[in-house]
Chains A and B, each alone.
Chain A
Amino acid sequence: MSTHTQSVSTAREDLTENEVVLRVTGLDVDIRTPKGVLRAVNNVSFEARAGRTLALLGESGCGKSMTAKAVAGLLDPVADVTGGTVVLNGTDLAALSPKQRLKYAGPELGIVFQDALTALNPVYTVGTQLSEAFRIHQKLSAKAAKVKAIELMRHVGIPEPESRVDSFPHQFSGGMRQRILIAMAVALNPRLLIADEPTTALDVTVQAQIMKLLRDLRTESHLAVVLITHDLALVAEEADTVAVMYAGNVVETGPVREVFGSPKHPYTRGLLDSVPADVGRGADLNSIAGSPPELHRIPEGCVYQSRCPLVQDVCRAIRPALEAEGAGRTVACHFALTTANKELDHV
């Protein structure tokens, strides 16, 4: 479907594969609510590398989208970054004013939002909306920007871009709209692409096409991809590294193969156990009992204590820090599991 004959984005000269593009350190996000200030993202750290995919994995409500929006500087008015740094290619975005950030939005960082399929502006043609990035950042004329928009549409595999460029969003299918949104995010050849649940609203065949498009874009331009999802299988297939989130905190990070092969945090372990591996269909899922704590009831010590089978007194008193646990891996647990006490291989 997607033919990349006319390549728009090419590898950036200034990027070498596997170089760290984004380093998030100790990120805190607070939400102001009528009930008081809630900590939606707490002390989150991870890094994304050129030409690699980092998966942010976690259940609904654990703060994945909030983290993504904080990195992109596009939080809702009620939410604020209250701590930490977001270093993109040497610049701490969190320290910039909203106005200063504008010049990074597009050329350095592209984002595909979770509600993407309804995110296009209904009153403008997709051509106009694709042109906008070129109009704003490269000050191109409407005509020149439209030529770029057509190229971009062809690049992300939209058939007959010359005629489709003047169509309105409602005239496109969900999969095509997602392609357009991805095209918008990569229009200016950024270093980093954040894709928040890019396939959740699509049917299975389209999901595969969209993931292939993201892979192709990543490979050809050394893009660092942050893939946000709650889908373990997708992480296993697409990501190089994973950061597992729970109740606003990162509880485990590392290469996907190793984390899924030998999870060290009881939550990661529980997640993997809830997936039927070789078990036949219809078998009971070994899902984690209980549910994550609500934001205003996050306990003192470990965030996972209410559901953890290994919980001890120390867990209730002291929150475990995210600490190095073997090569390239980190875990936040007082009793990080050792390879010895796990018996299932889930990958």
Chain B
Amino acid sequence: MLTFLRRRILSSALPLLVVILGVFALARLTGNPASLYLPLNATEQMRADFTEKNGLDNPIWVQMAEYFGGVLRLDFGESLRTGESAAAMALRAFPATLQLAGTTMLLAVVLAVIVGSWAALKPNGIADRISSFISMAAASVPDFWLAIMGIWVFAITLGWLPTSGVGGLDAWVLPILTLLLRPFGVLVQIVRGAMVSSLSEPYIKLARSKGASEFRVVTRHALRNAAAPALTVAGDLAVGLVNGAVVVESIFGWPGIGKLMIDSILQRDFAVLQAAVLLTAISIFILNILIDLGYAGLDARVRPTGKPRKASKTGKATAAPAKERKLHVQTTP
């Protein structure tokens, strides 16, 4: 277990570093914040002072070194905009995103399991055709378009729902629907494919030979085996939700990490942007570990042990069978 964690941390350290460096450098390409934070008629002297005060006059590698020095001391810098600690701002925005993404994923998984299993019971039956149409449509609608249409129809024209904000339950409807459709559509296809293949496995017949009811066969035997490939894909989709959240949070004014990122990019608030990206990367890292642990919990054959089974160089390898299966199930029409 510890070996597994250590392996995961080591193998994730480098990508994480690359992400941070990339964001660091790209952010600075957007230009000097001085032009945003100083009055239009600011003198050259004022600009130089601002630049120097914020360490922006140093060569970029010096800025990086200072930044990393700070990170090691858990000092992530201050917001140019508010002077507040960047880390505090990111952490404050985080729960809103987590709630939105968590609720969305939960709904997507539950609905997809029900619809996907129902479709798999009779491949090419009526239920299968209907669910296939719905899930294809759901998976291919762009989320920003859906968000705008949603606001237009339900908030502006009909006036049923608020256009933005975080008030009551009704404020959740449009953001969740917008974020939900794609993961739901993709997951229905995955669950359906995995269920069709697990329902044709010999262990299903074995369960029936013991007198297991249809319900028991589907839930205990087929779904339990379909869970592993579904989990892997759900994990990828959950990571993708973070991207979706940036768009959806901005459109609906949801005060989460995505909105914070966009705002800090627009304001060249580098420290806040970096803190937000770092926090997101860390949560994706943790999410991936949880997925692997869940995966191992579902299937004894890939349970991580001290000694690597098969050719698992990194923890990632434990998820490999699922990836293969995923490809396999996706090709099922």
Contact = CB atoms under 8 A, between A and B. Distances in A.
Contacts of A137: 211
B225 interface: yes
A184 B206 contact: yes
B209 A106 contact: yes
A113 B201 CA distance: 12
Given A121-B221, A168-B300, A105 B206 contact: no
B81 interface: no
A115 B202 CA distance: 7
Interface in B204-240: 205-213, 216, 221, 224-225, 228
Interface in A33-80: 72, 74
A185 B207 CA distance: 11
A256 interface: no
Given A113-B202, A115-B202, A170-B301, A185 B209 contact: yes
Given A121-B225, A123-B298, A123-B300, A106 B210 contact: yes
A282 to B, nearest CB: 38
Interface string A105-141: 1110011010110111111110001001100110000
Contacts of A129: 206
Interface residues of A, number: 33
A105 B208 contact: yes
Nearest to B221: A121
Interface string B81-110: 000000000000000000000000000000
A123 B224 contact: yes
Interface in B168-226: 202-203, 205-213, 216, 221, 224-225
A170 B211 contact: no
Contact of A113 (B205, B213, B216): B205
B333 to A, nearest CB: 15
Contact of A110 (B209, B221, B299): B209
A102 interface: yes
B206 A113 contact: yes
A120 B221 CA distance: 10
A132 B212 contact: yes
Contacts of B211: 102-107, 133, 136-137
Interface string A308-320: 0000000000000
Nearest to A194: B209
Contacts of A136: 210-213, 216
A52 to B, nearest CB: 22
A308 B301 CA distance: 51
The 3 A-B pairs at the shortest CB distance, nearest first, are namely: A105-B211, A121-B203, A119-B202
24 contacts: A99-B213, A102-B212, A102-B213, A105-B208, A105-B211, A106-B210, A111-B209, A113-B205, A113-B206, A115-B202, A118-B202, A122-B203, A122-B225, A122-B299, A122-B301, A123-B228, A123-B300, A129-B206, A133-B211, A136-B216, A168-B301, A170-B300, A184-B210, A187-B210
